[in-house]
Amino acid sequence: MSEQIRVVIVDDDPLVRSALSLMLGGQSDVSVVGEAADGRAGVDLVRRLRPDVVLMDIRMPRLDGLAATRELHADAEPPRVIVLTTFDADDHVVGALAAGADGFLLKDTPPAEIVGALRTVAAGDPMLSPSVTRTLIDRLRADDGQDRSDDARTRLDRLTERELEVALAVGRGLANAEIASELYLSVPTVKAHVSRLFDKLQVTNRVQIAICVHDAGLV
């Protein structure tokens, strides 16, 4: 990543695009390099400009944000994607997890928090709106009940003691640097543990690790 975080905004609402562009344009370390009004144009623009982070709306014409995120995630060097959603109960957010999104924020998130989330995701850590995360966990835990709980415990039993500690910290929403400080590890070591958690727990992102931990009743 360059010294500046290069951002593409994909949203069908011109007022939202304008507000985000104006807000981010005031940051010395952020550069908005492009905007698109629908998912199809967004995918094409991102592949041409190769930004560091994409701010992606969910409900858009031609190609929605979920499908657009999935397409980008399949690329050899995909950008980081932060999904922007109007409601924390948006049904598409659950599917966006599997599509490869790195962050979830509500559109009414305070500007300073959006900027902070952008920097966090650009640095390689996920950023999840607490209310979105809670909604996801509650919704998924409501499905299959005991079966989900038993499955989560079985998967967590595969972990070493240290891997379980990292999984629990991820389940509490800690970023890599915070986990490193709490467990007296280096950040690269934490990243290596998280990568192994993806394989052992058969998940594709940190939110799914958190969901597994919550399903098991450990957080």
DSSP letters of the chain? --SSEEEEEE-S-HHHHHHHHHHHHT-TTEEEEEEESSHHHHHHHHHHH--SEEEEESS-SSS-HHHHHHHHHTSSSPPEEEEEES-TT-HHHHHHHHHT-SEEEETTS-HHHHHHHHHHHHTT--EE-HHHHHHHHHHHHHSSTHHHHHHHHHHHTTS-HHHHHHHHHHHTT--HHHHHHHHT--HHHHHHHHHHHHHHHT-SSHHHHHHHHHHTT--
Residue ranges of the chain whose pLDDT lies below 70: 1-2, 87-98, 129-146
Residues forming beta bridges with residue 83, ordered by sequence position: 56, 104
Cβ neighbours, 10 Å, residue 39: 28
Is-contact 85 37, C-beta < 8 A? no
Q: Which residue has the tokens 């995701």?
A: 121
Is-contact 105 114, C-beta < 8 A? yes
- The domain ranges of the chain are 5-136, 145-215
CA 157 and chain centroid, separation: 26
The Cα 193–Cα 174 span in angstroms is 14
Structure tokens at 137: 């966990």
pLDDT, residue 2, reads 54
The Cα 133–Cα 206 span in angstroms is 11
Of 132, 125, 207, 123, the C-alpha closest to 172 is 207
CATH number of 5-136: 3.40.50.2300
pLDDT, residue 92, reads 61
Structure tokens at 152: 């989560």
pLDDT, residue 139, reads 62
pLDDT, residue 173, reads 77
Fold for 145-215, please state it.
Arc Repressor Mutant, subunit A (1.10.10)
The predicted-structure confidence for 24-77, as pLDDT tens digits, reads as follows 988 999 999 999 999 999 999 999 999 999 999 988 999 998 899 989 988 888
Is-contact 175 120, C-beta < 8 A? yes
